[in-house]
């Protein structure tokens, strides 16, 4: 860690970045300044985080990571979209996955002939070293610094060095040093040696024959004479001024004529057309005749000898005389004679290349042997290193004419098509990549993420146990019956998504996050077409894409409390040993079989939000899941759970931020000092001044106070959210105590705060949070103050009133305002509660009077006073009511509602119970006769009133009517 910090403090490149930041600040480009500084800091923090993980989690020297007791392989291949060939078709492929999708594009299909070409410099016909030698030969032909002869005179090492220097910048041609450069040097030297001796034989024999046939028999005589004169003049100018280059101009004039001749007659392949015009230019500017190759003369002699031996000279001439007026027919006929001869005499090597040249010689009669050139255009090169179809056991056969023709054709035809293919393919892949939005699937660890002790000692081992079941481990211990599901629940703000994204990042797997709120409760199918909106459709498409990938992927369903149970049921078979699921990808239904694949399914949800009935996990799915609540203490992790609040907020607090980039030992050291108040036995690895240490310790003490309250709030939030509404005795508590709340408060804590300021900070934070609760704001804030022991007398009374009113509201829940029977039952229930209070009071008084021998004489006055108060309470229940204004006229109220007999029975039972409570009172000792008499009078009055009420109900017509109906 110190080395990383030192690097970022002293490296010249980092300093250059800081200089750029200063320059941008001078230009007042604050947006870019903030962006660059943020990226630089993020890179440093990520480097520290990766170093810690590499040292503590990774197995030395291997791409293997350890979660708990399990070891997992780490994928280091970056996710990217590329193309591969499968069954002679082009497929899109996501690296590291099992995703293959056939590419269908008409423009791309038109370049199918170059699909199997991997680099621009080589295909099945052209070897990479051939292409390099050709480009170097072309370069030497045009270079003013080194000619071909200069290159040939260099030593072998110097030639190789010059060739390597030439190929260095040609990265796209993908040459392998030590292979293609050595082979190209041999080929290039052979080309230069032959080029120096063959003269115009460097043009293919078929091109020279076509040029001679065109010029002598198919070119307009007037145009031929004019062009001959012009080319002779150019040749004369060249003798005096050798640097004058006029060839391109004249070749351009000849080329249309030659192209028309080749297209009309078809005497040669069109690939030789450019050689024809170039040969004509060079021949006509230097000579008055057409040269003849030694191989053509030898073939002429053999053919003539064969005719003479078989007495066919005359017949041969007769056949030619028959087509004498048609040069093309004569040429074709002679070619037929020569082909028949070669078929009978196959010993002539490469004789087919000279058929056309021999034919034009025979058309002219006897050849002029002074025009014969003895140069050879063939050479066998040994010691070749590379591997290609043109090389046989390290031997390469070089034919100058074939080489030039092949490379010219490759340069003019194949390379442009290959470049078009690369551009088209890149465009198609870029479009597909944009549609897939691959950057969203790459897990990125949040800069604020802290791998604390809770994660190290509790969460990672638990996750490791689950992933070992879902994906398997490295080595022989890998399970073959992969199955399971990881289900994480907690209130919001506990880092469920952050934790799993971190795990996916360290494993190098794709993090396919499916957003539950975007899917919503309306989606019950994996068919995107059935989704009710674009957002839900996109999430379902992402899910199907993850299934299509089928390997090296984590399917993460977030906030599943927003999803329909029927939608979650689709994952049941995926999470058992079958590992299958039905999906729909691009309109086609498919059954995905993921057995044995590196795929894991993780779901996360918050069961404490939305209405409780919405969070429904199918029991068969829950049965297949390992379920952990990150918002509560798991097992014996209470200490590290409390510690995690402090570790996670380090990056939020300016005073503690330096600790975040240091070792965990320093973090725990500062926490221990804050807990114990002693520095004995604690050594910090980082270099901090005494002032810095004091600030960190003071801040940590205050954060521990905040942490304790946050934990209390968290427990109360979960306790309240876990209750059914009908069992509540106070309003639901909706304020949260998560890591997010801790960080929000921690960022404002400073070392010099006193207790009152810290208290105000905490209250103001929760006051802000409570504003979103609307009608629950008051009750939640009073609950917070109760937890902090900050309620005033007025607030305490208000809180008690709210709780009583809430209990009453719970009783009324579900009862309509026009339901008079239910309202009567509620009043009877209130009366029963009052009687229960009276019973408790009387029982308490009787208990105190039960043992007179132990009661002091002066206690009689206290007993009398208690009985007097009890009598007043009873009187209040029997006579108390809303005051009546005597000035108002008396109004008679007739109750038209029929009271069921069951109500009367209930009331009679109530009175019987009350008599049972009051009887012991009559048997109490006669001491304090005055108080007892007063109490007795009140009770008798109460009983008389109830008997009167029962009588009126018994005699009412409604009751009789009810009885008759029954």
Distance separating alpha carbons of residues 447 and 460, to the nearest angstrom = 19
Say if CB 65 and CB 74 are below 8 A apart.
Answer: yes
Q: What is the DSSP letter of 268?
A: S
Asked whether residue 582 is assigned to any structural domain, the reply reads: yes
String of DSSP letters for 365-378: SS--GGGEE----E
425 plus 481 within the same structural domain: no
How would residue 101 be classed by pLDDT, with cut points 50, 70 and 90? very high
Of the listed ranges 142-151, 233-242, 435-444, the least confidently predicted one is: 233-242
Task: Convert 380-408 to b/e letters by CB count within 10 Å (16 or more is b).
Answer: ebeebebebebbeeeebebbbbebbbbbe
- Break the chain down into helix, strand, coil percent, rounded to 5: 60, 10, 30
The token pair at 711 is 């934990």
CA-to-CA dists, residue 910 to 13, 547, 831, 832, angstroms: 90, 67, 10, 8
Spatial CB neighbours of 248, under 8 Å, sequence gap ≥ 6: none
429 plus 477 within the same structural domain: no
93 plus 109 within the same structural domain: yes
Domain that holds residue 902: 820-845+864-876+893-965
Average pLDDT over residues 161-173: 93
Say if CB 901 and CB 966 are below 8 A apart.
Answer: yes
Of the listed ranges 361-370, 494-503, 706-715, 943-952, the least confidently predicted one is: 943-952
Q: Find the CATH number of the domain harbouring 605.
A: 3.40.50.300
Overall number of domains in the chain: 6
495 plus 561 within the same structural domain: yes
685 plus 623 within the same structural domain: no
Domain boundary among 573, 604, 631: 631
Confidence (pLDDT) at 614? 56
431 plus 460 within the same structural domain: no
pLDDT tens sequence across 304-346: 999 999 999 889 888 988 888 889 999 999 999 999 999 888 8
pLDDT tens sequence across 180-191: 999 999 999 999
Q: Taken in order 686, 690, 692, 696, is the CA torsion positive or negative?
A: positive
Q: What is the DSSP letter of 889?
A: P
Confidence (pLDDT) at 811? 75
Confidence (pLDDT) at 44? 84
Burial class (CB in 10 A: 0-12, 13-18, 19+), 449: buried
How would residue 227 be classed by pLDDT, with cut points 50, 70 and 90? confident
Asked whether residue 142 is assigned to any structural domain, the reply reads: no
Asked whether residue 239 is assigned to any structural domain, the reply reads: yes
pLDDT tens sequence across 243-278: 666 677 888 888 899 999 999 888 888 888 889 999
Query: What angle (nearest 5°) sits at the alpha carbon of residue 734, between those of residues 733 and 735?
Result: 105
Nearest to 666 by CA among 647, 686, 639: 686
Distance separating alpha carbons of residues 606 and 613, to the nearest angstrom = 12
Burial class (CB in 10 A: 0-12, 13-18, 19+), 519: buried
Asked whether residue 154 is assigned to any structural domain, the reply reads: no
Confidence (pLDDT) at 928? 47
468 plus 575 within the same structural domain: yes
Look at residue 680 and tell me whether its pLDDT is greater than 90: no
What are φ and ψ of residue 395, in 5° steps? -115, 130
333 plus 256 within the same structural domain: yes
How high does pLDDT run on average in the chain? 84
Asked whether residue 737 is assigned to any structural domain, the reply reads: yes
Return the bridge partners of 725, or none.
none
Average pLDDT over residues 502-516: 94
What are φ and ψ of residue 512, in 5° steps? -95, 95
Say if CB 134 and CB 403 are below 8 A apart.
Answer: yes
Neighbours of 488 (CB within 10 A): 27
Confidence (pLDDT) at 682? 86
47 plus 90 within the same structural domain: no
Look at residue 910 and tell me whether its pLDDT is greater than 70: no
Task: Convert 922-947 to b/e letters by CB count within 10 Å (16 or more is b).
Answer: eebeeebeebbebbbebbeebeeebe
Look at residue 742 and tell me whether its pLDDT is greater than 70: yes
The token pair at 515 is 């957003």
Max intra-chain CA distance, the chain: 170
Give the predicted TM-score (pTM) of the model: 0.72
Look at residue 40 and tell me whether its pLDDT is greater than 80: yes
Asked whether residue 174 is assigned to any structural domain, the reply reads: no
- Write down the H helix ranges in 484-601: 496-507, 516-519, 534-549, 565-569
Look at residue 939 and tell me whether its pLDDT is greater than 90: no
Strand 599-605 and strand 553-558: the pairing is parallel
Return the bridge partners of 84, or none.
91
Look at residue 794 and tell me whether its pLDDT is greater than 70: yes
32 plus 68 within the same structural domain: no
Distance separating alpha carbons of residues 959 and 132, to the nearest angstrom = 115
Domain boundary among 381, 408, 430: 381
Asked whether residue 734 is assigned to any structural domain, the reply reads: yes
Confidence (pLDDT) at 229? 87
Nearest to 631 by CA among 744, 554, 710, 723: 710
pLDDT tens sequence across 197-223: 998 899 999 999 999 999 998 888 888
- SS3 assignment, position 399: strand
Confidence (pLDDT) at 662? 78
Confidence (pLDDT) at 876? 54
How would residue 961 be classed by pLDDT, with cut points 50, 70 and 90? very low
What are φ and ψ of residue 859, in 5° steps? -75, -15
Confidence (pLDDT) at 657? 85
CA-to-CA dists, residue 937 to 614, 837, 946, angstroms: 58, 19, 15
Distance separating alpha carbons of residues 148 and 153, to the nearest angstrom = 9
Q: Taken in order 687, 693, 699, 701, is the CA torsion positive or negative?
A: positive
How would residue 659 be classed by pLDDT, with cut points 50, 70 and 90? confident
Domain boundary among 631, 664, 697: 631
659 plus 800 within the same structural domain: yes
pLDDT tens sequence across 424-468: 999 999 999 999 888 899 998 887 788 888 999 999 999 999 999
Asked whether residue 249 is assigned to any structural domain, the reply reads: yes
pLDDT more than 90, % of the chain:
47
Confidence (pLDDT) at 111? 92
The token pair at 199 is 């003269």
Confidence (pLDDT) at 164? 94
How would residue 551 be classed by pLDDT, with cut points 50, 70 and 90? very high
51 plus 110 within the same structural domain: no
The token pair at 609 is 């939000």
pLDDT tens sequence across 290-299: 999 998 999 9
Say if CB 842 and CB 917 are below 8 A apart.
Answer: yes
């Amino acid at each position: 860690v110190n080395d990383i910090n030192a690097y970022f403090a002293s490296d010249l490149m980092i300093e250059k970045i800081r200089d750029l930041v200063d320059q941008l600040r001078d230009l007042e480009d604050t947006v870019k300044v903030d962006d660059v500084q943020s990226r630089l800091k993020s890179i440093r923090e990520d480097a520290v985080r990766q170093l810690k993980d590499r040292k503590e989690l990774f197995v030395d020297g291997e791409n293997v990571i350890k979660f708990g007791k399990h070891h997992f392989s780490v994928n280091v291949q970056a996710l990217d979209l590329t193309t591969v060939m499968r069954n002679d078709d082009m497929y899109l492929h996501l690296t590291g996955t099992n995703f293959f999708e056939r590419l269908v594009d008409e423009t791309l299909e038109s370049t199918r002939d170059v699909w199997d070409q991997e680099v621009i410099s080589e295909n099945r016909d052209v070897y990479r070293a051939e292409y390099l030698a050709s480009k170097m030969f072309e370069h030497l032909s045009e270079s003013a610094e080194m000619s071909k002869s200069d290159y040939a005179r260099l030593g072998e090492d110097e030639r190789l060095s010059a060739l390597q220097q030439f190929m260095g910048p040609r990265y796209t041609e993908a040459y392998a040093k030590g292979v293609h450069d050595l082979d190209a040097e041999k080929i290039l030297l052979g080309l230069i040696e032959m080029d120096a001796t063959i003269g115009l034989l460097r043009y293919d024999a078929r091109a020279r024959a076509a040029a001679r046939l065109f010029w002598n028999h198919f070119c307009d005589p007037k145009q031929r004479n004019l062009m001959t004169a012009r080319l002779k003049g150019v040749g004369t100018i060249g003798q005096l001024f050798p640097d004058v280059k006029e060839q391109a101009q004249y070749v351009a004039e000849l080329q249309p004529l030659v192209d028309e001749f080749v297209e009309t007659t078809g005497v040669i392949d069109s690939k030789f057309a450019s050689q024809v015009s170039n040969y004509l230019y060079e021949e006509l500017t230097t000579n008055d005749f057409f040269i003849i190759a030694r191989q053509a003369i030898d073939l002429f002699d053999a053919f003539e000898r064969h005719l003479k031996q078989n007495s066919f000279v005359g017949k041969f001439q007769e056949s030619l005389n028959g087509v004498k007026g048609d040069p093309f027919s004569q040429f074709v006929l002679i070619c037929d004679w020569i082909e028949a001869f070669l078929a009978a005499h196959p010993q002539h090597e490469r004789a087919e290349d000279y058929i056309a040249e021999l034919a034009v010689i025979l058309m002219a009669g006897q050849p002029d042997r002074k025009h014969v050139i003895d140069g050879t255009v063939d050479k066998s090169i040994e010691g070749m290193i590379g591997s290609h179809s043109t090389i046989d056991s390290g031997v390469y056969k070089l034919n100058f004419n074939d080489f030039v023709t092949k490379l010219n054709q490759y340069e003019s035809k194949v390379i442009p098509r290959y470049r078009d293919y690369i551009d088209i393919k890149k465009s198609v892949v870029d479009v597909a990549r944009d549609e897939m939005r691959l950057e969203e699937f790459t897990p990125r660890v949040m800069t604020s993420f802290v791998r604390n002790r809770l994660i190290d000692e509790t969460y990672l081992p638990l996750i490791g146990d689950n992933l070992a079941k879902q994906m398997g481990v490295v080595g022989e211990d890998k399970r073959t019956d992969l199955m399971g599901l990881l289900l994480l629940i907690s209130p919001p703000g506990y880092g469920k998504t952050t934790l799993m994204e971190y795990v996916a990042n360290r494993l190098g797997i794709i993090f396919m996050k499916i957003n539950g709120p975007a899917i919503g409760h309306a989606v019950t199918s994996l068919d995107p077409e059935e989704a009710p909106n674009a957002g839900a459709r996109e999430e379902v498409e992402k899910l199907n894409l993850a299934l299509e990938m089928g390997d090296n992927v984590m399917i993460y369903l977030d906030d599943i409390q927003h999803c329909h149970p029927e939608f979650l049921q689709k994952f049941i078979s995926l999470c058992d040993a079958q590992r299958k699921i039905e999906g729909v990808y691009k309109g086609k239904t498919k059954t995905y079989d993921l057995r044995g694949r590196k795929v894991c399914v993780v779901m996360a949800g918050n069961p404490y939000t939305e209405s409780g009935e919405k969070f429904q996990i199918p029991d068969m799915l829950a049965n297949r899941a390992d379920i952990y609540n990150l918002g509560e203490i798991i097992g014996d992790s209470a200490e590290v759970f409390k510690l995690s609040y402090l570790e996670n907020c380090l990056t939020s607090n300016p005073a503690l931020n330096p600790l975040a980039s240091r070792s965990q030992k320093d973090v725990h050291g500062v926490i221990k000092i804050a807990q114990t108040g002693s520095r004995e036995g604690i050594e910090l690895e980082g270099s901090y001044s005494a002032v810095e240490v004091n600030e960190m310790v003071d801040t940590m003490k205050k954060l521990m106070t905040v942490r304790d309250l946050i934990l209390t709030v968290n427990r109360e939030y979960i306790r309240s959210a876990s209750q059914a509404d009908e069992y509540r005795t106070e309003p639901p508590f909706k304020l949260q105590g998560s890591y997010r709340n801790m960080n929000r408060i921690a960022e404002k804590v400073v070392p010099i705060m006193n207790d009152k300021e810290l208290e105000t900070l905490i209250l103001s934070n929760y006051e802000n949070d409570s504003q979103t609760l609307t009608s629950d704001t008051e009750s939640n804030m009073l609950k917070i103050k109760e937890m902090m022991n900050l309620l005033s007398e007025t607030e305490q009374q208000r809180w008690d009133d709210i709780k009583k009113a809430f209990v009453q509201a719970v009783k009324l829940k579900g009862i309509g305002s026009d339901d008079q029977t239910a309202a009567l039952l509620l009043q009877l229930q209130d009366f029963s509660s009052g009687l229960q209070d009276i019973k408790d009071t009387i029982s308490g008084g009787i208990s105190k009077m039960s043992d007179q021998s132990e009661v002091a004489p002066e206690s009689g006055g206290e007993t009398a006073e208690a009985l007097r108060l009890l009598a007043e309470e009873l009187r209040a229940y029997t006579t108390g009511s809303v005051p009546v204004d005597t000035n108002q006229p008396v109004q008679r109220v007739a109750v038209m509602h029929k009271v069921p007999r069951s109500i009367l029975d209930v009331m009679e039972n109530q009175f019987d119970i009350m008599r049972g409570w009051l009887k012991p009172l009559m048997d109490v000792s006669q001491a304090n006769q005055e108080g007892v008499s007063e109490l007795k009078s009140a009770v008798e009055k109460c009983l008389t009133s109830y008997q009167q009420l029962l009588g009126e109900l018994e005699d009412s017509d409604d009751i009789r009517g009810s009885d008759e109906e029954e």
